[in-house]
Structure 1
């Protein structure tokens, strides 16, 4: 049996990773993206400066898988950079360990509270923020953590005795534990909470959700001390992240094992492109991420808006349209001339006119580069993977573009096609008796069944479009019922449905 990669026995032919002296960062949501993005920036910053205070305790939310991959390896893993011109392999040692809250909530809380920890970072995807349709905190989803917070703040139970079930709940409990530890020691212990997920104004959104959680768990005077401490000692800067990080395949693990001579169960894969823009608003010390290529700025909003509307918006269009056309990957979808033309329409006709370029940025060139990046077959992003969680992504990826173009008197044709493709995916999955992967999946299925009078297969595409666009929280106020947009989406959905009917008829006529 092949030995595992480990910090104590590193392959000699690759540059040795850093060995952090302590944990300085707790990261919630340590999936492949974090390991191929922020952890890499932290690694490179430590190599450039020799500052080893910034070891990462990763927290895996849904299962123990990442913990079980990295803990036997001492946290070290490799990053395979896969481009059209070949691949390269690097070792990363910034992660010291991984904890799973189902079994290790006390450890996570105490590490967030520790004086050596200066940052809590997050990549938990849009749905990990437990928001309701109006964007506020869905208290029911975090109730168990809020009840635990109430017990911990009252001093009637040990911190972490109740395993955390949500990232937001874990974060708030961790911040409360830090306040209690600061009060006991007589220290201030400021901390920065840095979200790296794809949401407009993401830092402010997270700050509001944290305060809503405290209000729900500790109303009135009971929560005053915690609320005051949060305002005085916690910063919530915004950030924008960009790197395509597909799922790692067994074939890639086997290829890397042959190169390393040991098995790396923590391997992640990323494209060559890597960008991180961070609002320079910290409550305390931080890694020198700018030494690794990150951009520190006073205003992330222009970068964030451009990335969401251009990259993420186009990525979702390619996923839904590619899924309908039978393409397994985004790389296949973007090389389909018909789909590529609609992607260019969304990029350059709809989104680009709504954007103010950040200083020094050429957004038209950025848009062209996106199509090239999406076409990189090495990234392997599947249309199924990117099409997940549509109701959580659409408001940020298409909503702003749609609202701005309608306000300017223009109908966003590319965005209308994208919405139609999403609507058709929802309708066809419901008609087939399947459920889309979405936090509002039951609601989406119910909409289609109601339109079809109890039979999802009988639901007319145009009526499904009208019902879906009117869902609360999907599109900015008024956009989902604007007849200019609705009419365009209905027409696009009709065309997609007709093409599907023709294709089905053609398949049924083929000899057995």
Structure 2
């Protein structure tokens, strides 16, 4: 699907062609996966002020193979209760592999570097927010090879710049801007690299459900658009982006596309991490027997709401004018959308990296308040069951986790073995008798079949 093909074959409606096709690149995006293409790239196009994106894949080259022959064009298939629609996005102007990262970041015409590389892509310790200096890939990068990690490539590119630039983390990390700044500075110090350009690391919160694309989705997009698109992404109608308004070298007018700019992202970030993401993880592990989220939420809705109301909500500071009750109700409605076909297995991936951001902060805050985090502990126990019983554990700490539970026979042994993994739980939660007892109780229920969940 090239630009010429669009002109020749798409005479259907305005949504069948991009709203703009920028002529230059002002944004380099690391992690040009489905989420970025369904979220930030759409906002950038809808801002309408000509900012083009160079998308760089840090892992598989499949997205390059999909989008490069299409001049970076792709379609967004939006599935909601009222039906499905498709539109073409033209904001992505280049699609490259990771080897090009440093050179593209060094380009003075680039003014924003954004990232969606998932939690594990940062190779950090989720419990402390620090760089994992024992990570073999980080060690190889620091000791002199051409960088292959995201942080290594980012630092290499920044070290080649003189012009100011903004680094915009759009992943689910607590205080993601400050966390990324700390990782960059720690890596640069360890590697003996100097960064002299002015940089800004704003905090952000992103929200949109983007399940994996299926062959059926490709067929439906072709039916709606009249042309075959190999780069289709699927999403829901809901979208939200909250951004700290602190940029070093200008930015697109994302507010024209609906983004919220604020001086303090933290309350929005915490709500999203603990309500949407925390509930999503609870749903995935507790409802692992269901293939799709929409099926699981019908059975587990009461437990999810109890987690949100009794454990997560007391730990939040709600922004003025924000309707928290409506937001919580909307989450269950979004999860129940059967058209998305969001697989629980997709959410269950990388649990060791996700739990500290999504659930363990709730646990710590409830314990500090003298309360029992009963429902958050149920979600963590369900993850422990997943680690103990899953045949194919998709997690960057998979070998470590499997080894920890390999000799465990009883739920109490599983709990003690996993609580000892400080990369996930830190040293503090291991010492909490209240938390441990809840985990043992819940895991015993879950593995005996006596639990109503």
- SS of aligned partner of 1:335: helix
The answer (yes or no) to whether the contact 1:14–1:91 under 8 Å persists in 2 is no
Equivalent position of 1:32 in the other structure: 34
Matched, 1:141 2:137: yes
Large movers: runs of 4+ above 4 Å: none
CA distance in 2, matches of 1:380, 1:244: 11
1:269-299 deviation line (CA, Å, top 9, x unaligned) = 1100000000001001100000000001001
CA distance in 1, matches of 2:39, 2:448: 42
CA distance in 2, matches of 1:416, 1:210: 33
CA distance in 2, matches of 1:351, 1:98: 39
Residue 384 of structure 1 deviates from its aligned partner by 0.9
- SS of aligned partner of 2:256: helix
Matched, 1:299 2:264: yes
Equivalent position of 2:419 in the other structure: 469
Residue 477 of structure 1 deviates from its aligned partner by 4.8
CA distance in 2, matches of 1:500, 1:13: 56
Residues 88-107 of structure 1: matches in 2 within 5 Å? 88-101=85-98, 105=99, 107=100
Residue 148 of structure 1 deviates from its aligned partner by 4.6
CA distance in 2, matches of 1:236, 1:364: 31
Matched, 1:332 2:295: yes
Residue 147 of structure 1 deviates from its aligned partner by 4.1
Residue 435 of structure 1 deviates from its aligned partner by 4.1
Residue 380 of structure 1 deviates from its aligned partner by 1.6
- TM-score (norm. length: structure 2): 0.94
1:466-507 deviation line (CA, Å, top 9, x unaligned) = 2212320323552333111111111111111111899xxxxx
Equivalent position of 1:195 in the other structure: 169
- SS of aligned partner of 1:395: helix
Equivalent position of 2:400 in the other structure: 443
1:357-412 deviation line (CA, Å, top 9, x unaligned) = 01221112111110110010122221111011111010010111111111111101
CA distance in 2, matches of 1:89, 1:125: 26
- SS of aligned partner of 1:8: helix
The answer (yes or no) to whether the contact 1:352–1:364 under 8 Å persists in 2 is no
Equivalent position of 1:13 in the other structure: 12
Equivalent position of 1:479 in the other structure: 429
How well do the aligned residues superpose, as a CA RMSD in angstroms?
A: 1.8
CA distance in 1, matches of 2:62, 2:357: 30
The answer (yes or no) to whether the contact 1:400–1:476 under 8 Å persists in 2 is no
- SS of aligned partner of 1:364: helix
Matched, 1:210 2:204: no
The answer (yes or no) to whether the contact 2:86–2:225 under 8 Å persists in 1 is no
Equivalent position of 2:155 in the other structure: 172
The answer (yes or no) to whether the contact 1:29–1:60 under 8 Å persists in 2 is yes
Equivalent position of 2:250 in the other structure: 285
CA distance in 1, matches of 2:143, 2:439: 44
Matched, 1:242 2:198: no
CA distance in 1, matches of 2:159, 2:104: 12
The answer (yes or no) to whether the contact 1:194–1:236 under 8 Å persists in 2 is yes
Q: 1:439 to 1:261 in 2, by over 3 A?
A: same
Residue 419 of structure 1 deviates from its aligned partner by 1.1
CA distance in 2, matches of 1:469, 1:363: 32
Matched, 1:424 2:385: yes
Matched, 1:409 2:370: yes
Matched, 1:368 2:329: yes
The answer (yes or no) to whether the contact 1:119–1:286 under 8 Å persists in 2 is yes
Which one of the candidate residues 355, 372, 377 is aligned to 1:394?
355
Equivalent position of 1:75 in the other structure: 72
Matched, 1:385 2:355: no
Equivalent position of 1:158 in the other structure: none
Equivalent position of 2:281 in the other structure: 316
1:55-95 deviation line (CA, Å, top 9, x unaligned) = 10000111110011000000011101100110111110000
Equivalent position of 1:508 in the other structure: none
Q: Which runs of 5+ in 1 are unaligned?
A: 150-161, 183-188, 452-458, 503-512
CA distance in 1, matches of 2:345, 2:450: 18
Moved more, 346-355 or 360-369: 360-369
CA distance in 2, matches of 1:474, 1:37: 29
Q: 1:329 to 1:500 in 2, by over 3 A?
A: farther
Equivalent position of 1:156 in the other structure: none
Bigger CA radius of gyration: 1
Equivalent position of 1:111 in the other structure: 104
Equivalent position of 2:44 in the other structure: 42
Residues 114-133 of structure 1: matches in 2 within 5 Å? 114-132=107-125
Residue 264 of structure 1 deviates from its aligned partner by 0.3
The answer (yes or no) to whether the contact 1:462–1:490 under 8 Å persists in 2 is yes
Equivalent position of 1:159 in the other structure: none
Equivalent position of 1:186 in the other structure: none
- TM-score (norm. length: structure 1): 0.84
Q: How many residues align?
A: 444
- SS of aligned partner of 2:449: helix
Equivalent position of 2:443 in the other structure: 493
